[in-house]
């Protein structure tokens, strides 16, 4: 009789433990499911339902660097369509004139003032005069938006020991020094007016993946852009300045020669900028194009060791095939 009672009590305690474990597992599963659902609902809202901010509330002039091609050119045209007067900055005076003409044709129904500045951020001479020139050109203007888009990278995938000193210094000067000086040039005016938006174009190479082998200096400079932007956002948000680092993945531009056509995951510069405009003024770090945000999320689920291995193999393969050559 005693043995039977002990067995019953033992079974009772076993069932109790099983029930408790089942309840805990269910609670964890429900919590995880709720979080995933909340994340999905937020994603839908951010990319498809949230109203974009009225960028004209920042000011009447916009400054765009790297304005002659790709994302920069698309930003310049889109901002002009939204009613901004433009200050276009690029290396080629001929291309700047071409983009200027294209802008004037696209907004022919209203007057649009355009100032063109020829600046090469890889030139030491231009860098020395950069801040003074931009401040002189923007003096008295209600500059509300700065798009820091100018950037450069390797001509093809290279191990670090293969990168010449001149090349990596040029990349640092364009992607880091030039970008920083542009912020230095326009920020004081924004602070006086207590409003402004600064958009720094970063890269998924620095944020969405743990490393970007064969383009090490490029990825490192874009990591600077991300950190710089987030800290500026924290410093100046309460003073009316919205700073955002935008994270594109592949966009069909000349900077990505292995991409010839647009796809589901590779938008045109115009498609990318249409999405990018909607995200200005919100988070300090944003992947504006919705399929890019999906790629970023999926990448976050993969252990770093596998992503690093894949990126290196993918880079070596493209290097051998000559796909990275410009």
Catalytic residues: 218
**What distance in Å separates the CA atoms of residue 282 and residue 164, rounded to the nearest whole number?**
39
Question: What is the DSSP-derived secondary structure letter of residue 250?
Answer: -
Assign 323 to helix, strand or coil: coil
Neighbours of 190 (CB within 10 A): 25
Backbone angles phi, psi at 114, to 5 degrees: -135, 130
Collapse the DSSP code of 65 into the 3-class scheme (helix H, G, I; strand E, B; otherwise coil) and give the result: strand
- Of 294, 316, 314, 295, the closest CA to residue 306 belongs to 314
Collapsed DSSP state (helix, strand, coil) of residue 257: coil
Which regions of the chain does DSSP assign to beta strands (E)? 61-65, 85-90, 114-118, 143-148, 196-201, 241-246, 285-286
Half-sphere exposure (Cβ direction) of 175: Cα atoms closer than 13 Å: 25
Please provide residue 209's backbone torsions phi and psi, each rounded to the nearest 5 degrees.
Answer: -125, 150
Closest CA to 55 of 87, 85, 10: 85
Cβ-contact 202, 179 below 8 angstroms: no
Distance spanning both ends of the chain, measured CA to CA: 88
301 near 134, Cβ under 8 Å? no
């Amino acid at each position: 009789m005693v043995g039977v009672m002990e067995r019953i009590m033992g079974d009772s305690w076993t069932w109790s433990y099983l029930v408790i474990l089942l309840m805990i597992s269910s609670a964890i599963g429900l919590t995880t499911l709720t979080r995933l659902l909340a994340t999905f609902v937020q994603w839908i809202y951010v990319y498809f339902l949230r109203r974009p901010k009225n960028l004209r509330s920042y000011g009447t002039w916009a400054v765009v660097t790297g304005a002659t091609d790709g994302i920069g050119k698309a930003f310049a045209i889109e901002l002009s369509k939204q009613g901004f007067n433009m200050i276009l900055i690029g290396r080629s005076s001929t291309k700047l004139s071409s983009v200027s003409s294209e802008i004037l044709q696209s907004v022919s129904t209203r007057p649009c003032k355009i100032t063109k500045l020829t600046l090469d951020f890889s030139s030491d001479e231009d860098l020395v005069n950069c801040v003074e020139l931009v401040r002189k050109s923007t003096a008295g203007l209600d500059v509300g938006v700065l798009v820091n888009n100018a950037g450069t990278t390797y001509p093809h995938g290279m191990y670090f020991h293969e990168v010449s000193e001149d090349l990596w210094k040029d990349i640092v000067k364009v992607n880091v020094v030039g970008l920083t000086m542009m912020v230095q040039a326009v920020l004081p005016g924004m602070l006086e007016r207590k409003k402004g938006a600064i958009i720094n174009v970063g890269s998924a190479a620095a944020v969405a993946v743990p490393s970007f082998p064969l383009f090490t200096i490029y990825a490192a400079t874009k990591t600077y852009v991300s950190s710089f932007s987030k800290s500026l956002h924290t410093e100046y948000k309460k003073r009316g300045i919205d700073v955002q680092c935008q994270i594109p993945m592949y966009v069909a531009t000349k900077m990505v020669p292995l991409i010839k056509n647009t796809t589901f995951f590779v938008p045109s510069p115009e498609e990318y900028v249409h999405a990018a405009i909607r995200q200005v003024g919100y988070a300090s770090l944003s992947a504006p194009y919705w399929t890019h945000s999906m790629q970023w999320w999926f990448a976050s689920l993969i252990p770093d060791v596998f992503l690093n291995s894949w990126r290196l193999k993918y880079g070596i393969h493209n290097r051998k095939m000559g796909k990275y050559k410009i």
